[in-house]
Amino acid sequence: MEAEANSGSPEDSWAFIQRPGEGCRTVPLAGHVGFDSLPDQLVNQSVSQGFCFNILCVGETGLGKSTLMDTLFNTKFEGEPATHTQPGVQLQSNTYDLQESNVGLKLTIVSTVGFGDQINKEDSYRPIVEFIDAQFEAYLQEELKIRRLLHNYHDSRIHACLYFIAPTGHSLKSLDLVTMKKLDSKVNVIPIIAKSDAISKSELTKFKIKITSELVSNGVQIYQFPTDDEAVAEINGTMNAHLPFAVIGSTEELKIGNKMVKARQYPWGTVQVENEAHCDFVKLREMLIRVNMEDLREQTHSRHYELYRRCKLEEMGFKDTDPDSKPFSLQETYEAKRNEFLGELQKKEEEMRQMFVQRVKEKEAELKEAEKENKSCL
């Protein structure tokens, strides 16, 4: 390899050394080296460590959030149904260890208990935003430790927010618009129409168009499936046009023809969950889990968490450059903040000392005055 790299005329070698920024030279190998196994090594390491994925389900009580989660992951998650008597919005988090083939997944499902049940819904979004920020803050604190254990740290940051929209067939509620607007810069928001079998097919098409129009007009940025990778660009581009997904959840299995399928039985007929002519459940499962789960994780880290981290560090006074646009090291920033803190501390100490001296003088004057009064009385 070294002989190949040094081959050619001296002028060529000198020109390469003088202009390294023009690109790397392609060097043919005389035989197999073995670094082409790096992807396999990475896969084996990732599989041995396992993966984590955290889903936030936001929606009013009774829209089928728990049922949809059971249907998505083909299991029965333990949990108690929420009531409509909650005084405020509470977030309930449950973590499960799932195994499919030889791949382990630590799945966390966070549900918004009591969302939309209060008469005054003005601040219903606040506990959700605070919860998301708390997970970012926990990760940031782990990052800032001297001895970090990020490889063993349970990442609780929310990777995907499934926002459940009631199948009204008319328009989005003010609660929905306000909440999604508050969440779109903090989490990957994927709107879905819950219990979509409650409205007709023609009404559903109009409802989707109405929702999309309202989201755009109100500046709500929902998650778009990435189209950069050629391998998934076509399917993701097609699926983006189907948002929001109209879904139905059911863990009940019925016999249709010669096979058992997940379905909902009604007096007028049967709705099959995995029949794409009936709903978009298969589209949601494919896009959320099979195709874009890693992109959701990456977007959470590189976009939403980085935004939180940057704002938090700027609030603490850390910057990348000084007023002259020159690089500003972390150590210099820390020392400057430390000196500033010590200066303020000394200033407060001096003010307290001066105040103490002043009070002592006032007390001495009072005592002298009292002593004079006593002498005059004698």
- Write the pLDDT tens digit of every residue in 79-100: 766 666 778 899 999 999 999 9
Identity of the highest mean pLDDT range in 14-23, 109-118, 300-309: 300-309
Cα–Cα distance between 305 and 301 in angstroms, integer? 5
How far apart CA 192 and CA 194 sit, in angstroms, is 6
Backbone angles phi, psi at 174, to 5 degrees: -60, -35
Q: Are strands 160-165 and 189-193 parallel, antiparallel or unpaired?
A: parallel
The confidence score (pLDDT) of residue 204 equals 95
Q: Is the pLDDT of residue 322 over 80?
A: no
Q: What is the percent of the chain where pLDDT is above 90? A: 57
Mean pLDDT: which of 99-113, 330-344, 361-375 is highest?
99-113
Q: What would the pLDDT profile of 271-283 be if each residue is shown by its tens digit?
A: 999 999 999 999 9
Residues 6+ apart with CB under 8 A from 125: 178, 179, 182, 183
Count Cα neighbours of 71 within 13 Å in the Cβ-side half-sphere. 25
| Average of per-residue pLDDT across 99-119 | 92
Rounded Cα–Cα distance for residues 252 and 262 (Å): 6
Asked whether 157 and 174 are in contact (CB, 8 A), the reply is no
Summarize the confidence of residues 238-264 as an average pLDDT: 92
Closest CA to 272 of 207, 64, 280: 280
List alpha helices for the chain, DSSP H: 2-5, 10-18, 38-49, 65-72, 126-143, 174-183, 201-217, 230-240, 281-285, 293-299, 306-315, 330-377
pLDDT over 50 (residue 2): no
Band (316; pLDDT cuts 50, 70, 90): confident
Task: With beta carbons less than 8 A apart as the criterion, state whether 99 and 50 touch.
Answer: no
Tokens for 297, please give them: 């994780």
Mean pLDDT over residues 279-294, rounded? 96
Greater confidence, 2 or 158? Answer: 158
Q: Check whether 334 has a pLDDT greater than 80.
A: no
pLDDT surpassing 60 at residue 17? no
Of residues 300, 282, 301, the one with CA closest to residue 291: 282
